[in-house]
Structure 1
């Protein structure tokens, strides 16, 4: 017998199989790229700190990595400033200023911006905390920076709160810097 269509049973089987495939695949499609977005911004933070530490060791200047956050879309820029003052090589001078590294040369004691080193975080904001433990109370926007001294150490132990957008999993974490020059993302190492 010749048939010109599908039976009801065949259509129901196709609909059931399609529903199962969509039910399994849709969550995976919605989460596509979330882990990559998070890891991509983490990689940018790590590479920026490593690059600036290397530059400080090579030329003997103090540097700042200033974090300029855009809270409305959960993005940030990591701007690099170089001290070109007479004290640019003086590690103890930068440690003793309050907050550390607050007396760079240039307009507003910011130093000279190294434009070609600015990196963008597409899914994070980072806010430097006033303490190493407990909830993070953020410093002012003007002091939202981490300093790297001429010998590639840091003037203080410090911590920053990382908040990722939903496109990067909505995670919260910490950026920890140590006076030794070491830094990590995650739990503080004591």
Structure 2
């Protein structure tokens, strides 16, 4: 079962992290344009694509129900309508629509929240260290975008195993893990 995680940048000239998870192996790369990202998705043919970007806008105000729920649980979330976040949201909506038309299942994730739940830490270095200790096969160096894409792909994997929950409803859902990841 293969999943793909994307840490999407608001502008296509900026780096987006892309991670492909299959079994306990995760491979990452940096992509920029929507076309590059779509090409990776086509070539990898994942069961689910987990995107770190808002995939909907609030009906009114600055926050969606999902954003408010995460904030209520103590997680930091930026409003999808705030400055550069609006660009990211609009790009996320376009990319998710294009991928859905290609018959991919697309979910919205929030790696910072997933990392806090899975690893009990906000530190990306802790996330990678704990994954390695848990037997995950990862390469040696990562950008923060690649690390976020790894956690997005891992959230997609847990989603397929029904080990996640959905926050939000009418304005869009964010998928988060139910429990901390057990590291052996």
TM-score (norm 2): 0.23
Of structures 1 and 2, the one scoring higher in RCO (CA 8 A, sep 6+) is: 2
Q: Which has the higher helix share?
A: 2
Decide which structure has the larger Cα Rg and report it. Answer: 1
TM-score (norm 1): 0.23
